[in-house]
Amino acid sequence: MKITARIPSIKEITVDVPSNITVAELKRILCERLKIEQDLTKLLANGIPLQENQKVSKIKLKSKKLEIDYLWSRQLILWGEDGQAKLGKSNVLIAGAGAIGNEAAKNLAMLGIRNFTIIDYDKVEVSNLSRMVFFDKSDAGKPKSKVLAKKLHNKYPHMEITAIQGKLENLPLKVYLDSDIIVSGLDNFASRFFLTSISRRYLIPLVDGGIAGYQCRVQSYVPPNDPCPICPIAREQYGNLVGLRNPCDAPIEEAKTPSLPTTISLVSSIQTHEVTKILLGYKNYLQTEKWPETTGQPMQGIWIADLKYNKYSLLNLVKNKNCMVCGEHGEARNTVERIDIPIKKFFSSDLRERYLRDIFPESDEFFFFKMSKGKPIRINNDKILKKDLGKGDYLLVTLKRKGEYIEAIIRLK
Ligand SMILES: [Zn+2]
């Protein structure tokens, strides 16, 4: 029998199926054709959800069309199934599971991003509950990252979430390299500096947000050419900023940042929308230097708001050649190229050298290192053990080109 089903305002399809199949089987066929997830979809007839074990032949239809009720159908109108699938496969690193982390995680989960790594060193306090939607009084004293991951997973069981209680500086490099983007809501300058360095060095886009009472700001950083989040800060200020929670505040032990749920949700809404734009358009941007018209371009400069005086502005930002991260002498002045090498080619020394010379012409020496407990360990070329390395593993490579040593990252695929 022929059955027509539609996702309203998006598309309709007709399938020819045996009349003795169940609604569950019909749903599987429709979802496979539409490339959408079965577990997040229901079939409706005449506006009412169908029982999954019901026989398709028993459905009585007034309009002769079934309706497909899919979790992200309203977004498909904007960026289609391919865009939604791209979001679904993306890995987002959420740096800070505090107020911004809670709100950002909620928004990103609702947008359909399915893979999070959440890192925070802090524990839940009762005073957090005024702004952190996933925490309860009974969570006081528990690690923020773990509580946030657990609560998110309860609400969105289809998600893959890794929670880490610790400091950004101690995170294995692999976690960063596996991330498509970093969203940060950090309360101290040193961590923001570190994260910006990582973002630039390894070319991982970063969307940073912060609040101080009635004021809030967001900056999208697409490395390596954008002005980075440290560019606006003069070198002389750096000494004063290290150890301070907020650039305008007193030292950490003396003051807490004033914080409101209103500024938090405003900032994280804008941040997460920026994340969406970058995830959907970044590959296109790398190839063509253009952002897709359907989803738009990430913001240029810093967006700032002051809710007390109703002031909203986008500040122009220029690259600072003396920047401590991306400037001429900055910590991350050199970026690290990232390449994928098929694992078979890597294990044959002839193929490996040829492959690398194609990618890095005029290079004559290659040294390989693997990361072990945060430290690079040299691998003797002849002793690369197959049992030690697998698909998805990263290796650091140092190569000599025109007398200079250059770093790159290899991912085995
Ligand atoms: Zn900079």
Say what the pLDDT of residue 408 is.
92
Amino acid code (one letter) for 287: Q
CA of 199 to the centre of ligand 1 (A): 11
Residue 101 · residue 187 · CB < 8 Å: no
CA of 207 to the centre of ligand 1 (A): 14
Q: Is the dihedral of CA 167, 172, 175, 177 positive or negative?
A: positive
CA of 134 to the centre of ligand 1 (A): 34
At residue 353, the 3 state secondary structure works out as helix
CA of 231 to the centre of ligand 1 (A): 4
Structure tokens at 193: 């500096």
Q: Which residues of the chain have pLDDT under 50?
A: 247-253
Domain boundaries, the chain: 2-71, 81-315, 337-412
Please report how the helices 73-89 and 261-288 are oriented relative to each other, as an axis angle in degrees rounded to 10. Answer: 70
Q: Which of 113, 308, 72 is nearest to 207 (CA)?
A: 113
Separation of alpha carbons 397 and 367, rounded Å:
5
CA of 279 to the centre of ligand 1 (A): 22
CA of 283 to the centre of ligand 1 (A): 23
Structure tokens at 154: 């309860």
Q: Tokens 């290899």 sit at which residue?
A: 410
CATH topology of domain 81-315: Rossmann fold (3.40.50)
Say what the pLDDT of residue 63 is.
67
Structure tokens at 262: 């209103």
Helices marked H in 43-156: 73-89, 99-111, 144-155
Structure tokens at 155: 């609400």
Report cis status (omega within 30 of 0) of the bond before 258. Answer: no
Say what the pLDDT of residue 356 is.
85
**CA 258 to chain CA centroid, nearest Å:** 27
Q: Which CATH number fits domain 337-412: 2.60.40, 3.90.1200, 2.30.42, 2.40.128?
A: 2.60.40
- Give 255's contacts (C-beta < 8 A, 6+ positions apart): 245, 249
CA of 320 to the centre of ligand 1 (A): 6
CA of 209 to the centre of ligand 1 (A): 16
Say what the pLDDT of residue 14 is.
95
CA of 293 to the centre of ligand 1 (A): 28
CA of 340 to the centre of ligand 1 (A): 28
Say what the pLDDT of residue 76 is.
94
| 337-412 and 81-315 share a CATH fold | no
Say what the pLDDT of residue 252 is.
44
State the DSSP code for 334: S
State the DSSP code for 317: -
CATH topology of domain 2-71: Ubiquitin-like (UB roll) (3.10.20)
Each residue of 183-221: pLDDT tens digit?
A: 998 878 899 999 999 999 999 999 999 999 999 999 999
